[in-house]
Amino acid sequence: MIYQDYIRVLTIDLTEETYVISQRKDLKAFLGGVGIASKLLEEHLKEDKPVLDSEQCIVFAIGALSTIFPIVTKTVAMFWSPLTGELGESYAGGRMALTMFMARYDAIVIKGRAKKPIYLSISGHSVEFKDAAAMWGLESDEVGRIIREREPGAGKRSILRIGPAGENLVRYASVCVDTYRHFGRLGLGTVMGSKHLKAICIYGKGSHEIKDRKAYFKAFSDIHQKALTTDLMKKYHDLGTPIGVSGMNANKSIPTLNLQTTFYEDISALTGEAFAQRNLIRKTACAGCPVGCIHIGQFRREFGPGYEYEAISVSYDYELIFSLGTFLGLKTSDEVLEMIEAVEAYGLDAISAGVVLGWATEAFQKGLITEAQTLVPLAFGDQKNYLKALKHISDRTNDFYTTLGDGSAAAAKLYGGEDFAMQLAGNEMAGYHTGYGSVLGAAVGARHSHLCNGGYGFDQADDFSMDTLVDRVFDEELHRCLLNSMIACLFGRRLYDRGTIVTAMASIGETHTEESLKQAAAEIYKNKLRLKKRMGFDQTAMKLPKRFFETPGGGTQLEEDVLNRLIRDYDEKCQTLFTKAE
Amino acid sequence: MSECLSLKLSECLTPILNECLTLISIRGQTLITTHFTCIKNFLKLFTFDRVEITRKKKREVGSTVAKRLRYNMNACIGCQTCSLVCSTLLGQHSLSESAIYIKTKGGLQSPYVCVVCVACKENIACLEACRTGALRARPGGGVLFDKSKCISCRLCVKACAIGAVQYSEKLDQPVICRHCGTCTRFCPHQCLWMEEVEEIAEVVEAIEAEALETSKTSSPTPETTHPKEGEAKS
Ligand code: SF4
Ligand code: SF4
Ligand code: SF4
């Protein structure tokens, strides 16, 4: 905890309805965020029990610099992923980090299973286990509204909730945080559902007395000033992440029609500019972020005859425009927003949901599955049927949709079409097919996400070279272990080089050097690799769908052998991490 | 003063300067050094160039220019930077020890609203409610708070019709905007700014005369011996 020599952990047992606080000096070496969360997961993981066993845990943690420096806004969740069967690690913004910080918890561990549906009301002074039986089955935003009305602390609280998909244990169920941010990937919503935990409200009205006001304010002001003068502000505030849509398309890198291609003819109505002009109604930010990249778009829906319209607003991002747009051949921003509304309501991970539907569409076209199974004919561009399919996934309507709810890897294993089930180790691909970097990055990334090491970024760099790719991906993965211990939003990553982190830490009385931070990051990465091993993951045994090697990424035709060699090289680097130190 | 001017103080620290100089004129020569130190500290602590800066002259006794905080929330992104910065003036990382409070009209799907002192100039409810003299009228509107006289009765909290007086359980005192303008320098989307207020000379004189009167009788408190950066002390 800030200004203390320990990490303050709240451990909640849902079965017993008890909780304890511990002050863990031993965790201080792991900085915060992913560093402490991976240690806590290591302690609580029961690899001999099923993934969704009541004894498994969820760990939330904030970082060493959380929310008192600009763009340091995220909370990490770590768990055993029911989707991939290995490391579950996901980040969400919103107000959660700020409220945990103000409630004076560095980490919250949740284990056990409630006897009936409940929600947790957590404040600096208490944890309450509250009845949520009547909320079971309700959509995510409805739950948000109810809790908002029941709990105190407007502006100082954060509300996490799951939708029906989480209750029904769809393996890629998400958790919505403060309406517009999510623990999207890898099925945290599923784990919450398995624990009968519908929602969590964290109320942060406490405070921390500043030790050295002058030093802190100087460091804060400098970084704030830097944040305002970088191109970050303009880039991410003006159009938000969708600014990338047209560029990615021009570079032939945006996965389209289940990655049959990486160039979308009909992109014009799906670009950042198109969304901004047609749908954008406001922008917002996570607490502590001056940028404000969250873009809210609105569309109008006719729900009955006689000019009956409703206006619906949801947040949109690059990833969603890819997964629920180009990947499925949708043509307009309104259609994409309506898809987003559906995944929000059901509480599904938007990326996995879109990619799974991409596989299903192609499998349907190829006759691997029939309409008796899909219930509606699936075709690229047919948004109305996709909306129905999303509901079927969330409800697990029949055997087929139940399997589809287990992820594209599971579905392809049963029905065929593994060559075009676009996942890596069970996690559905993200919106970048830029070249070797994107596939390598997601393949070796600790959680198989594009954000583990930003491998796709190296493909686009002017000085791209196959010889240095493995090293660069590795170094970035390591550096992000550090950023994710702070926990800085990755959009602010260029602001937080090691030197800046040293200065910021010093201003709150934590002495570090660039070297000591580097070492801490290596230890954190090792913990994660150990966890993956315990969960049964073997990097070199990974099999990638053929489609990655059929459809050129960023104009490059990838070869499987070459990629496998890169993966092996990377794996060797990981091994040296262990031999070097021990 | 020349030393300060050489630091281009008058160019960039208008509102704080205003406060400090107000005080100088209220409290007389003896306090000038203290406040200059505080001004210099401020200069070190802040760098800002995004805010529109106007050149201001030293405020004379009875002059007619003071400032108060104003806002327009249409560009607000709800980052809460203003609150986090304001609470550092009370030495805290906190939302509860902040005089400016950002929330939504009704859930995150609705616009952000700002709850902060609007600097009443007449019928100042919090001031009228205070029985101990811990609050006194501030040139430019609103009030100045003197912790040494506060008995934590919370009458001011109840009195403010717009709910702008927060109460800090931790510090056991009300938290009221002092219109120092610090938050305006950190709002990334220019939602907050300082507005000049024309004062009627007689009102200023009355306020200042009263202040002078009370300052003679009040004894120093821990707070007054360690003035907060930029805060107008009484
Ligand atoms: S850049 Fe966007 S996601 Fe990151 S902290 Fe700011 S608002 Fe949140
Ligand atoms: S003007 Fe000063 S006291 Fe008032 S809200 Fe802003 S920072 Fe706080
Ligand atoms: S700093 Fe500005 S944008 Fe951020 S919450 Fe305050 S008023 Fe809104």
C-alpha R_g of chain A: 22
What pLDDT, on the 0 to 100 scale, is given for residue A379? Answer: 98
Which amino acid, residue B145? F
Query: ipTM of this model?
Result: 0.92
What pLDDT, on the 0 to 100 scale, is given for residue B106? Answer: 78
What pLDDT, on the 0 to 100 scale, is given for residue A311? Answer: 95
Return mean pLDDT, chain B. 72
| Tokens representing residue A97 in the block | 């980090």
Does the pLDDT value for residue B34 go beyond 60?
no
Does the pLDDT value for residue A548 go beyond 70?
yes
* Topology (CATH) of B50-205: Alpha-Beta Plaits (3.30.70)
What pLDDT, on the 0 to 100 scale, is given for residue A401? Answer: 98
In the beta sheet, which residues pair with residue A57? A111
The span from the CA of A497 to the CA of A485, in Å, is 13
**CB count, 10 Å around CB of B71?**
21
| Tokens representing residue B35 in the block | 């406040």
| Tens digits of residue pLDDT in A179-211 | 999 999 999 999 999 999 999 999 999 999 999
Q: Is there a contact between A84 and A426 (Cβ–Cβ < 8 Å)?
A: yes
Ligand 3 neighbour B81 (Cβ under 6 A): yes
Number of cross-chain residue pairs from A and B with Cβ atoms under 8 Å apart: 113
Percent of chain B beyond pLDDT 90?
52
Atom of ligand 3 nearest to the CA of B77: 3
**Residues in chain B whose Cβ is within 8 Å of chain A:** 41, 44-48, 50, 77-81, 84-85, 87-88, 91-97, 101-104, 107-109, 111-112, 170, 186, 188-189, 229
Does the pLDDT value for residue A460 go beyond 60?
yes
The span from the CA of B231 to the CA of B144, in Å, is 9
Angle between helices A333-346 and A383-395 in degrees, nearest 10: 10
Closest Cα in chain A, distance from residue B75 (Å): 8
Which amino acid, residue B37? T
**CB count, 10 Å around CB of A558?**
21
**A190 SS3 class:** helix
Return mean pLDDT, chain A. 96
Residue of B nearest to A213 (CA): B91
Among A98, A208, A225, the residue with its CB nearest the CB of B47 is A225
**Domain boundaries defined on chain B:** 1-47, 50-205
Q: Given the structure tokens 């008192």, which residue do they identify?
A: A68
What pLDDT, on the 0 to 100 scale, is given for residue A560? Answer: 96
Which amino acid, residue A3? Y
**A207 SS3 class:** strand
Of all helices (H) and strands (E), which one includes residue B66? strand B65-71
| Tens digits of residue pLDDT in B126-144 | 999 999 999 999 999 999 9
Cα B85 to averaged position of ligand 2 atoms, centre (Å): 8
Closest Cα in chain B, distance from residue A313 (Å): 8
β-pairing verdict for A157-161 and A127-131 = unpaired
Q: Output phi, psi for A475, to 5 deg.
A: -60, -40
For range A82-91, the mean pLDDT: 97
| Tokens representing residue A53 in the block | 């066993």
Does the pLDDT value for residue B7 go beyond 50?
no
Dihedral sign, Cα of residue B46, residue B52, residue B57, residue B58:
negative
Does the pLDDT value for residue B56 go beyond 90?
no
Q: Test B96 with A205 for CB contact under 8 angstroms.
A: yes
In the beta sheet, which residues pair with residue B92? A209
Residues of B with Cβ-Cβ distance to A284 under 8 angstroms: 77-78, 108, 112
Q: Which residues contact A35 (CB under 8 A, 6 or more apart)?
A: A27, A481, A484, A485, A520, A523, A524, A527
Residues of B with Cβ-Cβ distance to A208 under 8 angstroms: 92-94
Closest Cα in chain B, distance from residue A227 (Å): 10
Q: Can you list the domains of chain A with their CATH numbers?
A: 7-204 (3.60.9.10), 237-401 (1.10.569.10), 427-579 (1.10.599.10)
| Tens digits of residue pLDDT in A119-174 | 999 999 999 999 999 999 999 999 999 999 999 998 899 999 999 999 999 999 99
What pLDDT, on the 0 to 100 scale, is given for residue A185? Answer: 96
For residue A449, the number of C-alpha atoms closer than 13 Å in the C-beta half-sphere is: 22
Q: Provide the whole-model pTM.
A: 0.88
What pLDDT, on the 0 to 100 scale, is given for residue A539? Answer: 86
Q: Test A155 with B104 for CB contact under 8 angstroms.
A: yes
Based on the number of CB atoms within 10 Å of its own CB, is A7 exposed (0-12), middle (13-18) or buried (19 or more)?
buried
Which parts of A275-415 are beta strand (E)?
280-284, 294-304, 308-316
Selection from A119, A110, A48 nearest residue A79 by Cα: A110
Cα B57 to averaged position of ligand 3 atoms, centre (Å): 29
**B232 SS3 class:** coil
Selection from B207, B221, B63 nearest residue B144 by Cα: B207
